[in-house]
Amino acid sequence: MHLQSLAVGPLQVNCFILGCPRTREAAVVDPGGDGERIIKALEGAGLVLKTIINTHGHFDHIGANALLVEKTGGELLIHRADQPLLSRAAAHAASFGLRADPSPEPTRTLEGGETLKVGDLSLQIIHTPGHSPGGICVLCDGHLFSGDALFSGSIGRTDLPGGDHDLLISVIREKLLVLPEQTIVHPGHGPDTTIGREKRMNPFFG
């Protein structure tokens, strides 16, 4: 798998490019902003964007949705429970003193449990509500793209509308910490970690 990360947008969201070496098809997870940078990275790697995945609908993770859809024609996917957040992005950003470009509606919505195909890559969608009702993680070839559910040494905030601390803790325990300990975790913000490290070191699961 071709894997590249870019810190994008005003809140430095980790945006990930996942590419199939054989077909050159690619997915982008959480294009939070700086759409032209993302497109240049795709072009530089010789990749064709097929799928855009939002791990959730908060404004800092969706800022380049519109540009990527317009420029590449890639399908836009988000969990159905977070679809309403797309239209509220500008108001959400304004509450932080920031602005957000509006997002188009998704091509289709996700439920969790799907396996998406991008070339030869298989992307498993795991529904992980708690940070937001429709939060998801994406598992591919030993790599977990955890959005704002699980961070290195921490978890996503749950004080925003739709957040639920107890639910987030339980779904991380039941759906993420059961993965192989060598699974590499790529959070929506901050450094990478592993499932094993979080099981041993994360204070929320001690």
The residue written with tokens 């959005």 in the block is: 147
Calpha distance 7→198 (Å, rounded) = 22
Calpha distance 187→5 (Å, rounded) = 11
pLDDT at 101: 81
User: How many domains are there within the chain?
Assistant: 1
The residue written with tokens 């978890």 in the block is: 155
Calpha distance 36→1 (Å, rounded) = 23
Calpha distance 124→106 (Å, rounded) = 18
Q: Give me the domain span that covers residue 99.
A: 2-205
pLDDT at 102: 85
* Domain containing residue 6: CATH number: 3.60.15.10
Is the four-CA dihedral 102, 107, 110, 116 of positive or negative sign?
negative
Helices 35-44 + 65-72 axis angle, to 10: 40
Whole-model pTM: value is 0.95
Query: Three-class SS of residue 114?
Result: coil
Calpha distance 181→168 (Å, rounded) = 20
pLDDT at 100: 82
Q: Give, as one character, the DSSP assignment of residue 102.
A: P
pLDDT at 169: 97
pLDDT in tens, the chain (206 residues): 999 999 999 899 999 999 999 999 999 999 999 999 999 999 999 999 999 999 999 999 999 999 999 999 999 999 999 999 998 888 887 778 888 888 999 999 999 999 999 999 999 999 999 999 999 999 999 999 999 999 999 999 999 889 999 999 999 999 999 999 999 999 999 999 999 999 999 999 97
15, 5 Cβ separation under 8 angstroms: yes
Calpha distance 73→21 (Å, rounded) = 20
pLDDT at 94: 79
At residue 27, φ and ψ (nearest 5 deg) are -120, 150
- For the record, the structure tokens of 130 come out as 């708690």
Q: Looking at the DSSP assignment, which residues form a beta bridge with residue 2?
A: 19
Is the four-CA dihedral 105, 108, 114, 115 of positive or negative sign?
negative
Radius of gyration of the chain (CA): 16
pLDDT at 195: 98
